[in-house]
Structure 1
């Protein structure tokens, strides 16, 4: 390992986030980046390019702000009791440091760190997370079976479609559906919580956000002029009663977006863990929102 000087720690952290292509593990007991946007913007960019992010924070009475901050970036926080370690790594690089993801720490505190230099060191760090942190993640804990099962009920046989929905990634199922019903040239990339869709000449995102009450959020890019027109003209096209519609303003280099938020919460925090019935229902809903966005944009041009 190589020692990182105090003034270099924030930039080395950004390097780890920005260079991530497949995985990113963030272990920071406390998070508050309200006054430091470079790190949060880098994390959102990593999420949007399909990096699978595991974000561990401390679970205690002071964790509400940390949870809210992580969720605001579209990432599911993983609360761990008694967490004090701080470390950050992707598939090829990593650092150990005293730094929490706090604006006060990044801008003002005297920190220290060490940069991993070999694949063996990275593998050792990964084993540490798998052995001492991940087992306490509620998402990874095995379900506890009742000690005295009441009966050995035989589950009903699954239909062919149910088996396909259970065995395939939701993104693949959605891609097939959209190719058949919306745009045969559509493409989808992403992970179990965040999908990026290219269809109908536009870019869309379909995300599950929220920790205790996960919600489906569908967004499509608008021009600034289209976003200005959205409040008074959107009702003509966006008619699904199961969703609330609004404009999400981008600013500072980000696009404005039409946003549809499903009113009812989902049963799980990832697409693949949703029930068959939920997956079945979401397919036409997502397709309709994509089509409505395209129609709204076309109507504006006319």
Structure 2
């Protein structure tokens, strides 16, 4: 990341908004642009370009001005409890800043920020939002119908397994499946979008990335020697056509990893909102990637 000086924070923020073509994520606990129209005009222009905008504010009874300001721009505010982070990114670039979207902050306060410089940094920022913000996103959670609305009734599960899949957390379903199929000692922890798995004497991360086009990524730890050998030996073990496989290099205290990116999009951005058929398919696919990773590592030792 590159440090942004105080006098450049506003221009870098505007660049993020104006250069967005597909998606834009705004995380600003407080919003009041009454006396500064440059940012609100840029956001309105982004909507006209059909940019998908996710706008997160702080969930606070005293924060009604922020909610009204976002709504007046034609956007849906997404109130998040205890939100204090401020960050802004699109599909190619982003910034982390001390700046709230307040007229008093833009051009008047001493602010500081950091410019993302690599795709890896952007991915880390996106993962932060997916891990710590979107699980509390009321827009991503089906609303409870009121008396004034007619609820949409989903089709009732037709089998015992379907009922279990609908009632249980996906992480628990996956843990039972992996324990019965590949490693009875496996353990899983995580949240609605990311699961950390310990199985087959290795650590894995299974995460849903993306808001408008959610996709699954599975990552497993490799040694540096195994990563070096991946290009030559991966095809022997990683055979599923459902994924694109690559090596994600670590460095600076991070492990190298095999990364399996699922080609097909998911129908929802959280595990528990996936349909029964998708959950069943993911059980098979996740088990396959974990097993292939273990076989690849064992093959290297032989």
**Are 1:286 and 2:286 matched, yes or no?**
yes
Matched-pair contact (CA < 8 Å) for 1:78–1:138: no
**Are 1:230 and 2:230 matched, yes or no?**
yes
Aligned residue in 1 for 2:168: 168
- The CA deviation at 1:142 is 2.8
**Partner Cα distance (1:248, 1:202) in 2:** 16
- Residues 62, 143 of structure 1: CA spacing in aligned structure 2 closer, same or farther, 3 A cutoff? farther
**Partner Cα distance (1:209, 1:242) in 2:** 16
- Residues 268, 32 of structure 1: CA spacing in aligned structure 2 closer, same or farther, 3 A cutoff? farther
Secondary structure at 1:219 match in 2: strand
Matched-pair contact (CA < 8 Å) for 1:216–1:262: yes
**Partner Cα distance (1:178, 1:264) in 2:** 22
Matched-pair contact (CA < 8 Å) for 2:97–2:111: no
Secondary structure at 1:284 match in 2: helix
Secondary structure at 1:174 match in 2: helix
**Partner Cα distance (1:200, 1:135) in 2:** 32
What is the CA deviation profile of residues 152-194 of structure 1, one whole-angstrom value per residue up to 9, with x for unaligned ones?
9994652100000000000000000000001000000000100
Secondary structure at 2:196 match in 1: strand
**Partner Cα distance (2:165, 2:193) in 1:** 16
Once the two structures are superposed, the pairs formed by residues 98-113 of structure 1 within 5 Å of their partners are 102-103=95-96, 105=98, 110-111=110-111
- The CA deviation at 1:140 is 3.7
- The CA deviation at 1:243 is 0.7
Matched-pair contact (CA < 8 Å) for 1:183–1:199: yes
**Partner Cα distance (1:282, 1:103) in 2:** 34
**Are 1:244 and 2:244 matched, yes or no?**
yes
Aligned residue in 2 for 1:272: 272
Matched-pair contact (CA < 8 Å) for 2:183–2:200: yes
**Partner Cα distance (1:143, 1:300) in 2:** 52
- Residues 242, 203 of structure 1: CA spacing in aligned structure 2 closer, same or farther, 3 A cutoff? same
Gaps of 5+ in 2: 1-12, 17-25, 32-39, 48-53, 58-66, 72-76, 89-94, 100-108, 113-134
Aligned residue in 1 for 2:105: none
Aligned residue in 1 for 2:201: 201
Secondary structure at 1:295 match in 2: helix
**Partner Cα distance (1:176, 1:252) in 2:** 35
- Residues 110, 140 of structure 1: CA spacing in aligned structure 2 closer, same or farther, 3 A cutoff? same
Bigger drift between 241-250 and 136-145 goes to 136-145
**Partner Cα distance (1:218, 1:201) in 2:** 16
Secondary structure at 2:288 match in 1: helix
Gaps of 5+ in 1: 1-29, 34-54, 65-76, 113-133
**Partner Cα distance (2:136, 2:291) in 1:** 42
Secondary structure at 1:245 match in 2: strand
Matched-pair contact (CA < 8 Å) for 1:79–1:137: no
**Are 1:184 and 2:190 matched, yes or no?**
no
What is the CA deviation profile of residues 201-239 of structure 1, one whole-angstrom value per residue up to 9, with x for unaligned ones?
100001100111100101100011111111121010001
Secondary structure at 1:138 match in 2: helix
Bigger drift between 269-278 and 246-255 goes to 246-255
**Partner Cα distance (2:278, 2:168) in 1:** 15
**Partner Cα distance (2:255, 2:184) in 1:** 25
TM value normalised by structure 1 = 0.58
TM value normalised by structure 2 = 0.58
